[in-house]
Amino acid sequence: MNHPAPLETPTRILLGPGPSDVAPSVLRALAAPTIGHLDPAFLEVMDQVCAMLREVFGTENRLTIPMSGTGSAGMETCLVNLLEPGDRILVAINGVFGTRMAEVARRLGAQVTEAHVEWGRTFRAEDLRSAAEGEYAVVAAVHAETSTGALQDLAPLREVASEVGALLLVDCVTSLGGYRLALDEWGVDAAYSGTQKCLSCPPGLAPISFSSRACDRLAARKQPVQSWYLDLSMIAEYWFADGGGGRAYHHTAPINMLFGLHEALRLVLEEGLEERAARHARNAAALVAGLEAMGLELRVSPSERLAPLTAVAIPDGVDDGKVRRHLLERYGMEIGGGLGPMQGNTWRIGLMGAGSTRRNVTLCLAALREALEAQEWAVGGDPLAAAAAAYAP
Amino acid sequence: MNHPAPLETPTRILLGPGPSDVAPSVLRALAAPTIGHLDPAFLEVMDQVCAMLREVFGTENRLTIPMSGTGSAGMETCLVNLLEPGDRILVAINGVFGTRMAEVARRLGAQVTEAHVEWGRTFRAEDLRSAAEGEYAVVAAVHAETSTGALQDLAPLREVASEVGALLLVDCVTSLGGYRLALDEWGVDAAYSGTQKCLSCPPGLAPISFSSRACDRLAARKQPVQSWYLDLSMIAEYWFADGGGGRAYHHTAPINMLFGLHEALRLVLEEGLEERAARHARNAAALVAGLEAMGLELRVSPSERLAPLTAVAIPDGVDDGKVRRHLLERYGMEIGGGLGPMQGNTWRIGLMGAGSTRRNVTLCLAALREALEAQEWAVGGDPLAAAAAAYAP
């Protein structure tokens, strides 16, 4: 076979819904020589990763680990461990990822009740309560809907979950590392995330966290977890030697990815959780100011809007594909298209982790204005002046 | 929180059952800047990875892709896609990984018939036939049992699979890249592997391949695949745009791991499949000559013995842990312990991928002799002379 040449990959600016730009020191950590998954030096890496993850999730949950798959594997891990066939789950759906949770739960044989609000909106207690009937094993919701850019207040969901006797499961894929999370304070029983959003590590790992109540549920299961690969009771024997006989091999951990996550988490804590959340908020506010100055409309109202991801309505007469190609080809800049009902009519601009910078805000606004003008769309005011004003003290 | 210092990982020589040593160019490829999973440049990487994987598997199967998890996720992918609850599977068990296949199949609701031979031995047609009763959906076996070091001849298994009307599913975790595989010629319908053995890429991806018969089975399913994350019908829409509307997002692919796999596969093809298999065989033969010269006993007979992994009986009176610590602490060298009934009485020495070198053979034999002498075990002949003789033309 004629084998291909070594890869020559382009250098992008990743301002889509993830993956986000990765810090150089994280890329270097990925490339450290591989060591064994039972090497004493690696066991120390694992312990440090768990400790840092707890800090970033805002929890003292012991069972806080990165699963060996992408964010969607984290979702499946939570559902397949917490639910048995026939169990009831109430899912709050306001975008792609709530929809996906319901689908994953149905596949494992759970009885699913769906609660819906419009995409781009979030749930009040009443929206969820009115869909509920009787008791549930789990109430599930998305903290930061990556498909729409909406941030869910979790307090009302915790309230309803308690009313229906349920554990609260939360998708934190786009909030982990971009907000100050407080799983324990918020009463979240299980959470999952991905590494490629506000942690700015490449995709491939799914941090999860289970409260002691969630662990009790796991221990009380009548049937084994349907997925061997995602069975937390066995995986905990590897991470915490819960079997009693030292760390037990389950599957070969993705060593180098964990080196990368170690460095990514270290950078998060070095910056400080409050400082990092404030940076995400500041850059998002400047982006929003610039977009609105041009006359673009946002999909989510200010009170429900995510900082790491801004959803923008594509103006009538503007070609989605042409604008994104303009940004990619002239600037090596990626922004995201819409999903589901938002496909073709929405852009998703991510300012996540290492990508949440003033430089990216300014360049994105300049490039987007240029692309819109190339489509002969009448740009309103000057986005760069508006963004600069938003940064002014 | 006091965040830890940046990682300072040791440099090991990985001569265990995997992960194996990773070539420097693969580590560099891992560290290339992350790009988006729908970036045109990444779609090209995906196409090249698929084409190279087909070559290394020895197949023209279109559905030949790396799954976003480690080797065990590859196992689960094959089983959960090929089987529906109630389907019958006949599993050939002669080690940990056959045992695991049976367990994964039971968890998804399949009816499992187990066929057993002693660990370290392999199956003749008759061994499997005598366990079979009636028809099966799948016959499953392990090509290269990483837990025991035994290489299974697949021809008799294909014969029995055809007799019972079954697809043939094969674990190629430790054979892919270390042997010249020929899935199509051998009539294998589904195969899975991992990247951290003879491909010498870090762990984290699971190459799989499905024949057209296996794809027909998938298309004819009555129920959706229990695992959303591992559902090949949806994943194929991302890899091959099977949905008709361009590559459809399923989950965010592990971009940087795929950069690494691209380079690892490139190195395999650059070396040549025959040449690479011959190198694995040559170095294993020299290792065996050295081990036997010292008076050590091997777990597997010559006709059934794997080249990438050699299982050695730990002599009476020799302390497993002390010997392995000696190798690790004095030489930074990892060899593997035994699993299951072989725990504490067997070492597993891997010479896989970039780690299958004359340098490693010689150093391993020298270090092992030293460690055995430190335990006052009476070493027989000179292992280095025996290995050198095995290399002589």
CA separation for the pair A304, A124 (Å, rounded): 11
Task: Count contacts between A and B (CB, < 8 Å).
Answer: 255
Contacts of B203 in chain A (CB under 8 A): 34, 37, 252-255
Note the pTM of the prediction, 2 decimals: 0.97
Q: Which of the listed residues B237, B269, B301 is the one where a domain comes to its end?
A: B269
Is residue B50 within 8 Å of residue A71, measured between CB atoms? no
On whether residue B238 sits in a domain, the answer given is yes
B96 with B182, same domain: the answer is: yes
B205 with B300, same domain: the answer is: no
Name A256's bridge partners.
none
* Helices (H) then strands (E): counts for chain B: 14, 13
Q: Is it the case that residue B244 has pLDDT exceeding 70?
A: no
Question: Per-residue pLDDT tens for A277-335?
Answer: 999 999 999 999 999 999 999 999 999 999 999 999 999 999 999 999 999 999 999 99
Helix-strand-coil percent breakdown of chain B, rounded to 5?
Answer: 45, 15, 40
Q: Is it the case that residue A152 has pLDDT exceeding 70?
A: yes
- Provide the pLDDT confidence category of residue A243 given band limits of 50, 70 and 90: low
| Residue of B374, B390, B335 whose CA lies nearest to B382 | B390
On whether residue A359 sits in a domain, the answer given is yes
DSSP E strand stretches across chain B? 13-15, 63-67, 88-93, 111-116, 138-142, 144-145, 150-151, 167-171, 190-192, 206-210, 309-313, 333-337, 346-350
A358 with A260, same domain: the answer is: no
CB nearest B6 (choices: A9, A204, A266): A266
Query: Given the structure tokens 């296949």, which residue do they identify?
Result: B101
pLDDT score for B56: 98
CB nearest B252 (choices: A19, A34, A257): A19
CB nearest B19 (choices: A14, A34, A225): A34
- End-to-end distance of chain B based on CA atoms, in angstroms? 61
- Structural domain harbouring B75: 24-269
B127 with B252, same domain: the answer is: yes
A110 with A257, same domain: the answer is: yes
CA separation for the pair B325, B320 (Å, rounded): 9
B164 with B100, same domain: the answer is: yes
Q: Is it the case that residue B156 has pLDDT exceeding 70?
A: yes
- The CATH code of the domain that includes B42 is 3.40.640.10
pLDDT score for A249: 86
Helix-strand-coil percent breakdown of chain A, rounded to 5?
Answer: 45, 15, 40
Tell if the CB–CB gap between B251 and A73 is shorter than 8 Å.
yes
Per the structure, how many domains does chain A have?
Answer: 2
Q: How far apart are the CA of B126 and the nearest CA of chain A, in angstroms?
A: 30
pLDDT score for A393: 84
CA separation for the pair A114, A131 (Å, rounded): 7
Q: Is it the case that residue B303 has pLDDT exceeding 80?
A: yes
When pLDDT is averaged across residues B73-90 and rounded to a whole number, the result is 98
Query: For residue B197, what is the nearest residue in chain A, using CA coordinates?
Result: A252
Name A305's bridge partners.
A150
The ipTM assigned to this model is 0.97
When pLDDT is averaged across residues A39-49 and rounded to a whole number, the result is 95
A129 with A265, same domain: the answer is: yes
* Helices (H) then strands (E): counts for chain A: 14, 13
On whether residue B255 sits in a domain, the answer given is yes
pLDDT score for B1: 59
Contacts of A249 in chain B (CB under 8 A): 339
Length of chain A: 393
CB nearest A7 (choices: B69, B251, B259): B259
Under DSSP, the state recorded for A336 is B
| Residue of B379, B382, B374 whose CA lies nearest to B323 | B374
Tell if the CB–CB gap between A226 and B107 is shorter than 8 Å.
yes
pLDDT score for A335: 98
pLDDT score for A3: 86
Q: Is it the case that residue A1 has pLDDT exceeding 80?
A: no
Tell if the CB–CB gap between B9 and A33 is shorter than 8 Å.
yes
B197 with B329, same domain: the answer is: no
CA separation for the pair B80, A172 (Å, rounded): 27
When pLDDT is averaged across residues A347-354 and rounded to a whole number, the result is 98
On whether residue A158 sits in a domain, the answer given is yes
Tell if the CB–CB gap between A252 and B104 is shorter than 8 Å.
no
Q: How far apart are the CA of A289 and the nearest CA of chain B, in angstroms?
A: 26
A256 with A286, same domain: the answer is: no
B121 with B204, same domain: the answer is: yes
Neighbours of B220 (CB within 10 A): 8
Tell if the CB–CB gap between B73 and A108 is shorter than 8 Å.
no
Check the CA dihedral B124-B128-B131-B135 and report its sign: negative
- Provide the pLDDT confidence category of residue A246 given band limits of 50, 70 and 90: confident
Name residues whose C-beta falls within 8 Å of residue A154's C-beta, 6 or more positions apart in sequence. A141, A143, A168, A170, A186, A188
| Residue of A367, A366, A356, A373 whose CA lies nearest to A387 | A366
- Provide the pLDDT confidence category of residue B336 given band limits of 50, 70 and 90: very high
Residue B219, token pair as written in the block: 């298309």
Q: Which of the listed residues B215, B237, B269 is the one where a domain comes to its end?
A: B269
Residue A209, token pair as written in the block: 């966290």
Tell if the CB–CB gap between B70 and A33 is shorter than 8 Å.
no
Q: Which of the listed residues B229, B246, B269 is the one where a domain comes to its end?
A: B269
CB nearest B76 (choices: A14, A27, A227): A227
pLDDT score for B378: 96
B76 with B165, same domain: the answer is: yes
Which of A1, A7, A79 is the mutation pick for testing B, counting most B CBs within 10 A?
A7
**What is the average pLDDT value for chain B, to the nearest integer?**
97
Q: Is it the case that residue A372 has pLDDT exceeding 90?
A: yes
B205 with B282, same domain: the answer is: no
Q: How far apart are the CA of B352 and the nearest CA of chain A, in angstroms?
A: 14
Question: Per-residue pLDDT tens for B6-41?
Answer: 999 999 999 999 999 999 999 999 999 999 999 999
Query: For residue A261, what is the nearest residue in chain B, using CA coordinates?
Result: B7
Q: What is the helix (H) or strand (E) element at residue B384, kind and residue range? A: helix B383-391
Q: How far apart are the CA of A143 and the nearest CA of chain B, in angstroms?
A: 18
Q: Is it the case that residue B183 has pLDDT exceeding 70?
A: yes
Collapsing DSSP states into helix, strand and coil, what is residue A290?
Answer: helix
Tell if the CB–CB gap between B229 and A34 is shorter than 8 Å.
no
Q: Is it the case that residue B241 has pLDDT exceeding 90?
A: no
CA separation for the pair A58, B215 (Å, rounded): 45
pLDDT score for B393: 84
DSSP E strand stretches across A193-319? 206-210, 309-313
On whether residue B16 sits in a domain, the answer given is no
On whether residue B19 sits in a domain, the answer given is no
Contacts of A51 in chain B (CB under 8 A): 1
pLDDT score for A244: 66
CA separation for the pair B392, B82 (Å, rounded): 48
When pLDDT is averaged across residues A147-170 and rounded to a whole number, the result is 98
Q: Is it the case that residue B110 has pLDDT exceeding 80?
A: yes
Tell if the CB–CB gap between B34 and A252 is shorter than 8 Å.
no
When pLDDT is averaged across residues B46-70 and rounded to a whole number, the result is 98
On whether residue B10 sits in a domain, the answer given is no
Q: How far apart are the CA of B4 and the nearest CA of chain A, in angstroms?
A: 7
Name residues whose C-beta falls within 8 Å of residue B299's C-beta, 6 or more positions apart in sequence. B120, B148, B149, B311, B312, B313, B342, B346
Is residue A115 within 8 Å of residue A67, measured between CB atoms? no
Q: How far apart are the CA of B266 and the nearest CA of chain A, in angstroms?
A: 6
**Dihedrals phi, psi of A18, to nearest 5 degrees:** 110, 145
When pLDDT is averaged across residues B44-63 and rounded to a whole number, the result is 97
Q: Is it the case that residue B109 has pLDDT exceeding 90?
A: yes
Tell if the CB–CB gap between A73 and B229 is shorter than 8 Å.
yes
Largest CA distance in chain A: 69
Question: Per-residue pLDDT tens for B264-275?
Answer: 999 999 999 999
Collapsing DSSP states into helix, strand and coil, what is residue B125?
Answer: helix
Under DSSP, the state recorded for B338 is -
- The CATH code of the domain that includes B369 is 3.90.1150.10
On whether residue B15 sits in a domain, the answer given is no
| Residue of B364, B369, B288, B357 whose CA lies nearest to B331 | B364
